[in-house]
Amino acid sequence: MRRQISGALAGAALLAVAAVGLAPDAPRAGQPDPDRSARSDTIPDGLAALRETYRRVAEVPYPADNPDSPAKAELGRRLFFDPILSGGGTMSCASCHVPSQSWSDNRPRGIGETGAAMKVRTPTLLDVAQIPILGWDGKFRDLEDVTFTPITSPSAMNLREAEAIARLARVPDYVRAFSEAFAGGPGAADAVPESAGAAVTRRRIQMALATFQRTIVSGRAPFDRWVEGDETAIGSSAKAGFAVFNGKGRCAACHSGWTFTDGSFHDIGVGTGEDIGRAAFFRNSVQLRYAFKTPTLRDVAEREPYMHDGSLATLAEVIDLYDRGGIERPSRSPAIAPIGLTEAEKRDLLAFLRTLSAEVPGGPRLN
């Protein structure tokens, strides 16, 4: 369950900025802080309590109608990396959600099998099990619901659903894997009796891929070690940045909890044109116009460019956007307004964000 930050603790964080001190430079996570000797490595009590709200939760939630199972997760892993699910057999889910690139692709926009750019950039799959509604505009109710949109989209994997199912059904090893993964559990009723043609179904493909994707968990970062009590895990500049993040910078209003997202949709003053975000499903809502999903900040320093449309190249540009408040318009979130960060505060905030990068890259955790 996502824990929310109390107003009292957020206020304590704001007051803590001066107590922590501001560094002239922002070293990367794992590098020594040249200014550490001149600054305190302790933080005020209020800020210490606040960091507890970011403690990782080990449990991965699975829906009742698609519980976890090793066989189903392994089948989903095979499907995820197999180009059999693209029209020309040249592209897999992992072509856009690249494990070595924090399960995104570091492109401004996703690139489909035809070579054409997609409308939005590829979102990371890190901790995707924790996200209640998916898609930059929230078009998907759950992970299962996502499955066939990229597979069948001409701008993505470009394969008709019927052909995807038929291809898998022609591979004896896949037929065997589907039969074993769903024997006696949810999804078993999709095919009774079992046969080569009936073992592979739309629902089973959805369930297997979703089960695998729920195993994709962000790796442990220096920030996590600091939350757990290791005061040397991050530098003084990053600690000051944590105070800015939760106080003056107002970042935690949306990027809350250990996953660093509220799972909701906000117009942060970026993006124009035909893509109106969440308002595509709520045409009369002024508030949801240009509102897009709040992304996780896990591995954020490794996942440039930024924004739903890849319009900002660096984290420094993202911080500048928030600092000036983005585009002022009726739909802009009330939490977004000019902040007035100093250059030192921006550097500290950047130092903090870098501590969210995993020391060992995150990935699937199969039983």
pTM here is: 0.85
Write b or e for each residue in 163-177: b if 16 or more Cβ atoms lie within 10 A of its Cβ, otherwise e.
Answer: ebbebbbeeeebbeb
Query: pLDDT digits over 137-191, tens only?
Result: 999 999 999 999 999 999 999 999 999 999 999 999 999 999 999 997 666 555 4
Least confident of 26-40, 162-176, 348-362: 26-40
Closest listed residue to residue 5, CA positions, set 242, 228, 316, 337: 242
Query: pLDDT digits over 43-70, tens only?
Result: 666 788 899 999 999 899 999 999 999 9
Partnered with residue 218 across adjacent β-strands are none
* Model confidence at 254: pLDDT above 80: yes
- Mean pLDDT for 90-104 is 97
pLDDT, position 58:
85
pLDDT, position 44:
66
pLDDT, position 198:
79
Helix or strand (DSSP H, E) at 353: helix 343-354
**In the chain, how long is the greatest CA-to-CA distance?**
73
Q: What residue spans of 170-312 are helical by DSSP H? A: 172-181, 202-213, 222-227, 236-246
Q: Decide if 123 contacts 303 (C-beta within 8 A).
A: no
61 CB-near residues (< 8 Å, 6+ apart): 129, 130, 214
Report how far residue 171's alpha carbon sits from residue 192's, in angstroms, rounded to the nearest whole number: 19
**Dihedral (Cα; 232, 233, 236, 237), 10-degree rounding:** 160
pLDDT, position 23:
30
Report how far residue 165's alpha carbon sits from residue 162's, in angstroms, rounded to the nearest whole number: 5
Closest listed residue to residue 70, CA positions, set 169, 172, 177, 190: 177
139 CB-near residues (< 8 Å, 6+ apart): 149, 280, 281
Least confident of 137-146, 196-205, 239-248: 196-205
* Domains located in the chain, CATH noted: 7-59+219-364 (1.10.760.10), 70-214 (1.10.760.10)
pLDDT, position 28:
42
φ/ψ of 262, rounded to 5, equals -90, 0
Report how far residue 362's alpha carbon sits from residue 356's, in angstroms, rounded to the nearest whole number: 12
* Model confidence at 41: pLDDT above 80: no
Summarize the chain as % helix, strand, coil (round to 5): 40, 5, 55
Q: What totals of helices (H) and strands (E) does the chain contain, helices first?
A: 12, 4
Report how far residue 60's alpha carbon sits from residue 121's, in angstroms, rounded to the nearest whole number: 26
Q: Decide if 17 contacts 250 (C-beta within 8 A).
A: no
Q: Exposed (0-12), middle (13-18) or buried (19+): which is 68, by Cβ within 10 Å?
A: middle
Length of the chain: 367
